[in-house]
Structure 1
Amino acid sequence: MMEPHNSTDGGGSSDPTGRGSLLQNESRCRLCEQLSKDPVSITCGHSFCRLCINRYWDETCQTGDFSCPSCRKRSKTRPALHPHTDESLKTDSNQQEDVLHRVLQKHKTCMKNRYESLFEGIKTQENRTLLNRIYTQLYIIEGESEGVNEEHEVIKMEKTSNKYLQETPINCLDIFRPVKDPEEEMEGVNNTAVMVNGVRLNKRKEDKGPKELRTLLTKGIAGIGKTVSVQKFILDWAEGTANQDVDFMFVLPFRELNLIKDEQYSLYTLLCTFHPELKDLDSRICDGRKVVFIFDGLDESRIPLNFSQCEKVFDITMTSSVGVLMTNLLKGELLPSAHIWITSRPAAANQIPPQYINRVTEIQGFNDPQKEEYFRKRISDQDQAQKIISHIKTARSLHIMCHIPVFCWISATVLQQIMKQSNTEIPKTLTEMYSHFLITQTNMKNEKYEENLNLDPVKLLESNRTMLLKLAELAFNQLMKGNVMFYEEDLRECGIDLTEAAVYSGICTEIFREECVLYQRKLYSFVHLSFQEFLAAFYVFHCYLSKNMEELRDFIPQYRYWPENVSLDELLRGAVSKASESPNGHLDLFLRFLLGISLDSSQKILQGLLIHTESTSQSINKTVAHIKDLISTQDLNTDRSVNLFLCLTEMNDQDLPREIQKYIHSDESLKKDLSALECLALSYMLQTSEEVLEELDLKKYSTSRIAYMKLFPAVNNCRKAL
């Protein structure tokens, strides 16, 4: 729980309720901010100097529309002025107390109504679930896990799947609670390694921060549960079960702030825009009260934050751009006693200098018991839930991906549907899982609108081919630009008719979603970044089959003039090369999907979307050999090497895992030196093993420098390394 504070700067107060400062200032005029001369109050209860309020109305109310300067309550006639007496002051104070209590209760009710439901997929009534019924505690750690912030998120998730025993978890409700020794807390945060433009910075021990945890940054990959954690934090407060020392929580999502980034606001008007129920309170809303600002989705921000050169804003009524207001709030120039919680994907987190962050946490997703808990809550039939859990455990890559809550949802959706069918093989790879998810959601759409019921998967996809190809093109274009949120103009570029946007979100119920946010402008996204990558990969393969070579130009740079008969193995080699060159791995999962979709078995599943299919076994064999050669001979970034190993798994090449298992269980005297490729496979298997290795002796495996480098990451999952 959050601890009460005693700050008195910038609007803080020792009054634990904040109501004292409100009442103590009743003798001040709300226009001139001086002690009232000939004080009077108007019908809403706010008080002013008689001269000030009359002058205000004379200057601003020429049309006969009179309003209160504080609460903006309007009157068509000039309100009567009531002279202040001791009795009237007491009455005014009671009125203000009543207004404050009413607004606080209304604010909590609004927040409860807004956040009590969880929508898995798009926001439709059938997808609505009470958060408290399905919520599963996430694994959150203090600080950040080791590794480069910019690495591909899914690969990072797979690599960190077994670090839980080495970390101390914290509850999302306790994120603002200081440790017993605040100096140790701040020292630990200041010593957190932060990647800034590729340089690891470590704050020196003497660089002490404030003892109070003012600003918190929570990192986590897409779909890991950042927004749901925020939702749970708010809901428990609104329902009165946690953090009751907090008076107000203000939620300002970046995706909505983007829509007004070029407009001028004061912080007070900004809060009233996002939370209209606050309009009955004046601009002293934060005075002497404990308030929490929540900025969700820094990675989605298009707002410039300039911490080195920024005009100072120190009053809640001062007007400026949204970026300037946010910068001053984060720096502590504006409302220094406020608490701030920011969520972000890892690669975007370094937009805020580390000296303005008092605590860093990272959401690691579900650990193994939490995965099972999720499936048992999500699936009412417990026998079916157990079957799904058992299947996922047998497919290691799927089990690892289930650290991501949204992947658990995709898996549950697909496997529940498949178990109703007797002739459908259960998916064992990521590509198969996502292909079946596409079919499942398309079928749900048909059932919902009673269109062409009981179609087989091929005809089902054929009937929706035009729309799905447009979505695939959108996914590809935006992935290449690095975008996960899109606007109407992005849809137009792909020929998507905006008048039918509502239908698009219904084409595959949870695949593509639209959200009406501030001012009802619509934002669009795919249900998860990984599904955008899947559709983008499908689009590339479709372009190959249809000889649309212009779209494939980036993947085969050696061709200046494009022949129409570029072979599949040339395309795949080019894609492997482009993905391996990426410094942040943004094409890693895209590559795995592209290779997986190219298989004959995947083409069979998706044939309803393809103009034709072709045998690719020869090209796949060439690509497998090429990838093995790359891993063995090239000194690649560790993350790219791991992804290439996973690509082999996605192409159903199980030779390496079998060889390594045989090697591990062979007689010690018969063991040979391992190649770089075998070392990489061993390293990955050790990192994703459910058991922690007691000792890892690197010397006994290989003498090759490249091979040693492949083994190093496995040290994280052993108690002793030699």
Structure 2
Amino acid sequence: MKNRFECIFEGIETKANKKLLNKIYTDLYITEVDGESMDDEHEVWQLETAFKKQPSRDTPIKCNDIFKPLPGEEGHIRLVLTKGVAGIGKTVSVQKFVLDWAEGTANQHVRFMFVFPFRVLNSVKEEHSLQDLLLGFHPELKSLDRADKYYDSSQTILIFDGLDESRLPLNFQDNEVFFDTNRVSSVDSLITNLIQGNLLSSALVWITTRPAAAGLIPSRYVHQKTEVRGFNEAQKEEYFRKRCEDAEQAEKIVAHIKASRSLQVMCHIPVFCWITAMVFQQILKRSEDSHSEIPTTLTQMYVHFLLIQTSIKDQKYHRGHGPTDRKGLLLSHREAVLKLAELAFRQTMKENIVFSEDDLRECGINADEASVYSGMCTEIFKEESVFFQQKVYCFVHLSVQEFLAAFHAFVAHTNGNFEQLQPLISERRSNRTRPLGQLSLERLLKEALYTALNSKNGHLDLFLRFLLGLALESNQKLLQGLLPKPQQSAETIHHMIRYIKDYRGKGLSPERCINLFHCLLEMNDRTMHRDIQQYLQLEGGSRKDLSPSFCSSLAYVLLMSEEVLDELDLRKYKTSSDEARRRLVPTVRCCRKALFSACNLNEVSCETIASALQSADCHLVELHLSRNDLQDAGAQRLFTAMSSPHCKLETLKIPDCKVTQSSCASLCSALQCPHSRLRELDVSENQLKDSGVMQICKALKDAHCKLQILRLAGCGLTEVACRGLGSALRSPGSTLRELDLTDNPLRDAGAKHLSAALGSPQCKLHILTLLGCLISEEGCLSLASALKSNPSHLLQLDLSYNHPGDMGAEQLSVTQIDAGSSPRAIKVDHGGLCRLRPGLQKYACELTLDMNTAHRKLSLSTDCRSVSCTMRDQPYPDHPDRCDTWQVRCQEPQSLRSYWEVERSGWYGIIVGATYRVSKSSGSETENDNIGHNSWSWSLACYDNRYTARHNRRRTEIPAPVLNAHRIAVYLDWPAGKLSFFIVSGGELTHVHTFYSTFTEPLYPALRFVFAGSSASICEVV
């Protein structure tokens, strides 16, 4: 096995192409995936940077560890199914897995490993026993006496490579079940019984496949599903440095790839890296101005690959005595290329990927000619196998076969050989009387499009992309010598672009639509985002929940288009899957404004964004990431990236992302960087504390810091932070113009530190927000005095939800008049002594229950502050607002900031929430009026050991953070669209759940009961 797997051949199996696997092998990104994404994946290229999932579902797995349970999991893993698109590295992973075992570096508990390529199994027509099958593939077993007794009782691994290449029916339902390894049966029956565990029940099984064929194995037999995701950025660079012996040349190739977004995306697939390396090595040798020939589409890359292969063949067999110009070189090899192209076309139409010498002879190719055409057709004849009665051939890679097949179709049309194109002509076209002799290029492309879209397994998707790409005159000119003459196709291309865009709305699956986007890219149409938005808004697109695989493909298309979007809002992509949205994150590099709030992003998402920010082709200037679980690790990745000279970010908003003071050193470094362009920073609702903000203050004094807007609402700050901020505002280099310190307990001492800064002529601050900062009359008088002494700069001051007192309000009002030429706006709304209460209690509101809404089974107290659920009807009069279920609303509408507490009693739970005012006369009685079960209300069901949040019939189960807690607090920030629920225990608030919405009407607090015998009271907050 070591001799068989220690070398890898890039192209034909020749000594020149032979390389030690351990020398050039580069690790691939392999992850666990769930069943849904495994089965619905489509054969389209995916994005490496979008491949970060929730840790529970997307844990990276080492190739040698695929049979080991993930951390924190238990159980025996018998069968692993690994999927990956063509060229992603599945077979090489198998080769590395076997080689490491054979060399003694991994899996030494395994006694035997057997490898069965499905493409070889296809050729085994006779019936055999399992013993004979194993001996046929591994003749070395013949030296063992009764080998079957060893691998039947020892740890054995069976590897079936390339399920998508199988032509076996794999009939699990009807195949006979048997347990005897000496039983003679068909290969199909042997394989199904091995997979089911009837034969060699103790053996482990590994199956690799392209995504489209993953469903051939029933999920009940699969214990772990993994996916090969290809190279990430670092792995790409490692591959090119290993692949190219010339280090300087390797660095040039890496630089070229980094400069092209389309190449960066394509090269996450190893086979494209191999082709790209070959193409660039030749381009760099040939031309000093290599940028002029850089291929940027799939078709261009394969055209150059064909040119290079032809040149290599000429140098090998003509030793440089043949033609030196491109056209002459291609002309001299035209016959051989066209024969291979015809072979590719015939076999692609038959869905064959391996073919015999008879197939070659049908196209005028003899075996010697095929074997010497280096890199394009490779012989896989294995003399030791008893199953091969003739040589079998395949192209070096399936994508090469599909490219040549498309080339043949184009050449046949150019030469007028329309009958050869009959397999592409649909039945509806064949039944027409119009002869094929009148088949225009546009008609051919439309027929190919129709045929490809009606292929059940999408086997013509790549062929179609190549065919449309070859229709471009620029690609035809590169192939002069093989083509008689370039076809004038500009008008045809224009018509096809319009035709494809119109076609997308005709009931196509998302997978087919994605391939049409790819087709547009091959025709150099880059207006992707508008077209994608139109598709998503279609009836079919808007109803279907977008899958993670679809979003991966969507991200690929957007990146390949190289179109710079003004705005990208992930919340507009209809999907219930956070994973699907995370797979769209890499598109951040192709937009100016990214709205990624509340998308359940995490540290690995930040790694993707950080990589984009450091890229020269990234256009991002505004990034919104609020309410994501970034934590310090994720935030620090972003801040580090902001120090890159390529980073163009001007606005960063990361409120409520679980960032702490630990990240402020990285932030400070980014703000002080000479390259920093950041103008606006929002880090509200993160516990930065005084220590963290003091570090930010240091950066604000730096001459390189360009920050103009800083929002620090709800960061746990005190007067200590105000001292630092005041010093920063007085510094000569400060550029800060707007500062928001809402909901920080600054008190009067903090206000005085800020007043000292505002009174300085060095302070250029225009807007200061101190909403809900526990500031009393003393602090307000200090601020008023500062504004009088320096009236020229501050234009807005918000002191709402504080307690300015009569004198403070009066003096602040005077400063509005004394503000000079520019009027000054000062707010002291919603003040009062109650605003000096700590925390959310400062927003406490007075509530009374509304008897006109109470259900007749609910009994209200005389002060309408308490309610009990009874079995006796109350004598309430009829009223249009009366509830039909056991619930009651409060009288007071809330449309600002409000806080209230509810105490429950009794053995049963209670449901607390808020609702719009909806009466029966409004026509809403057709919907469930239980709070939380409709679109106009939000609720939290509270029980002793669990909680359930509901809105619009969607529920979220929440374990009880505090058991047997009977007091519930509710905080409403109506302008911000925020409704939060807390448990009150020992005077402390423990957060349970928060709803985010855009409220359009005032909300009414409400209560609902589930069982009689429960009661509740509106608490007095003191």
Is the TM value for this pair above 0.5?
yes
Is 1:170–2:61 an aligned residue pair?
yes
Distance 1:675 1:305 in 2: 41
Structure ranking higher on relative contact order (CA contacts 8 Å, 6+ apart): 1
Aligned to 1:648: 520
* Residue 117 (structure 1) aligns with: 7
**Cα separation, 2, equivalents of 1:292 and 1:174:** 13
Please say if 1:245 is aligned against 2:125: no
In the TM superposition, residue 333 of structure 1 has moved relative to its aligned partner by: 1.9
Please give the per-residue CA displacement for 1:389-445, whole angstroms capped at 9, x wherever unaligned: 222233333322212211110010011001111276222221111011011011111
1:86-105 aligned within 5 A: none
**Which deviates the most, 116-125 or 273-282?**
273-282
**Cα separation, 2, equivalents of 1:570 and 1:687:** 26
Contact 2:48 2:232 in 1 (8 A): no
Structure 2 unaligned spans of 5+: 542-549, 586-595, 600-996, 998-1022
Asked if structure 1 preserves the Cα contact closer than 8 Å seen for 2:51 and 2:229, the reply is no
- 3-state SS of paired residue (1:607): coil
For residues 202-251 of structure 1, give each alpha carbon's deviation from its aligned partner in whole angstroms, at most 9, with x where no partner exists. xxxxxxxxx32112221222221111111111111111111111112122
Task: Map residues 97-246 of structure 1 onto 2, 5 A cutoff.
Answer: 111-144=1-34, 147=37, 149=39, 152-153=42-43, 155=44, 157-158=45-46, 162-164=50-52, 166=54, 167-180=58-71, 182=73, 211-246=75-110
CA distance in structure 1 between the aligned counterparts of 2:317 and 2:556, rounded to whole angstroms: 48
Question: How far is the alpha carbon of 1:159 from its aligned partner?
Answer: 5.5
Per-residue CA distance 1:569-613 (angstroms, 9 max, x = gap): 222223233333334332222122111111111111111111222
Counterparts of 1:231 and 1:355, CA distance in 2? 27
Which of these residues, 479, 491, 504, is aligned with residue 606 of structure 1? Answer: 479
Q: Is the 8 A contact 1:395 1:429 kept in 2?
A: no
Q: How far apart are 1:325 and its partner, in Å?
A: 2.4
Is this contact kept in 2: 1:472–1:538, CA < 8 A? yes
Query: Residue 431 of structure 1 contacts residue 593 of structure 1 at CA under 8 Å; is this kept in 2?
Result: yes
The answer on 1:572 being equivalent to 2:445 is: yes
* CA shift in 2, pair 1:354/1:151, >3 Å: closer
Matches within 5 A, 1:204-603: 211-265=75-129, 267-283=130-146, 284-422=149-287, 425-450=293-318, 452-453=321-322, 455-496=324-365, 500-507=366-373, 509-517=374-382, 518-519=385-386, 520=388, 521-553=390-422, 554-555=424-425, 557-558=428-429, 559-562=432-435, 564-603=437-476
| Structure with larger Rg | 2
Query: What is the SS of the residue equivalent to 1:411?
Result: helix
Distance, in Å, in 1 between the alignment partners of 2:104 and 2:579 is 48
Check conservation: 1:162, 1:688, Cα contact below 8 A: no
Q: Counterpart amino acid of 1:114?
A: R
The yes-or-no answer on 1:717 pairing with 2:584 is: yes
Structure number with the higher strand fraction is 2
Q: Distance in 2 between matches of 1:295 and 1:164?
A: 27
Query: What's the TM-score once normalised by structure 1's chain length?
Result: 0.71
- 1:233 aligned partner, one-letter code: F
Indicate the residue corresponding to 1:704 in structure 2.
Answer: none
Q: Aligned pair in 2 of structure 1 residues 462, 146: CA closer, same or farther (>3 Å)?
A: farther
Give 3-state SS (helix, strand or coil) of 1:264's partner. Answer: coil
Matches within 5 A, 1:57-76: none
What is the match of residue 19 of structure 1? none
CA distance in 2, matches of 1:510, 1:589: 20
**What residue identity is the alignment partner of 1:456?**
D
How far apart are 1:648 and its partner, in Å?
2.2
Q: Is the 8 A contact 1:164 1:367 kept in 2?
A: no
- Contact between 1:138 and 1:225, CA under 8 Å: does it hold in 2? yes
Q: How does 1:32-51 map to 2 (within 5 A)?
A: none
Separation in structure 2 between the aligned mates of residue 647 and residue 304 of structure 1, nearest angstrom:
32
The letter for the 2-side match of 1:652 is N
Partner in structure 2 of residue 97 of structure 1: none
**Contact 2:262–2:297 (CA under 8 A) maintained in structure 1:** yes
1:260 & 1:311 partners in 2: Cα distance? 19
Q: 1:298 to 1:708 in 2, by over 3 A?
A: closer
Instruction: Please name the residue that 2:833 is paired with.
Output: none
Task: In structure 1, give the amino acid aligned to 2:465.
Answer: R
> Which structure has greater helix proportion?
1
Q: Name the SS for the 1:647 alignment partner.
A: helix
Alignment check: 8 A CA contact 2:232 2:268 kept: yes
Q: RMSD of the TM alignment (CA)? A: 3.3
When normalised by structure 2's length, the TM-score is 0.51
The percent identity for this pair of structures is: 50
Superposition deviation, residue 301 in structure 1: 2.4
Flag the 1:326–1:387 CA change in 2: closer, same or farther, 3 A. same
Measured against aligned partners, the alpha-carbon deviations of 1:51-108 in whole angstroms (never above 9, x if no partner) come to: xxxxxxxxxxxxxxxxxxxxxxxxxxxxxxxxxxxxxxxxxxxxxxxxxxxxxxxxxx
- Contact kept, 8 Å, 2:81 with 2:225, in 1: the verdict is yes
Could you tell me which residue of structure 2 aligns to residue 200 of structure 1? Answer: none
Distance 1:176 1:713 in 2: 27
Residue pair 1:161, 1:400 contacting (<8 A) in 2 also: no
- Equivalence for 1:16: none
Partner of 2:569: 696
SS in 2 for 1:176: coil
Asked whether the 8 Å contact 1:261–1:323 carries over to 2, the reply is no
CA distance in 2, matches of 1:419, 1:247: 48
Deviations 1:21-59 (A, max 9, x none): xxxxxxxxxxxxxxxxxxxxxxxxxxxxxxxxxxxxxxx
Deviations, residues 325-380 of structure 1 (Å, cap 9, x unaligned): 22222222222111121222222233322222222111111122211111111112
Structure 2 Cα separation of the partners of residues 622 and 694 of structure 1: 29
1:523 Cα deviation after fit: 1.7
- Give the CA deviation at 1:531: 1.3
After superposing on structure 2, the runs of 4+ consecutive aligned residues of structure 1 that deviate more than 6 Å are 677-683
Q: Secondary structure at the match of 2:108?
A: coil
CA distance in 2, matches of 1:268, 1:643: 44
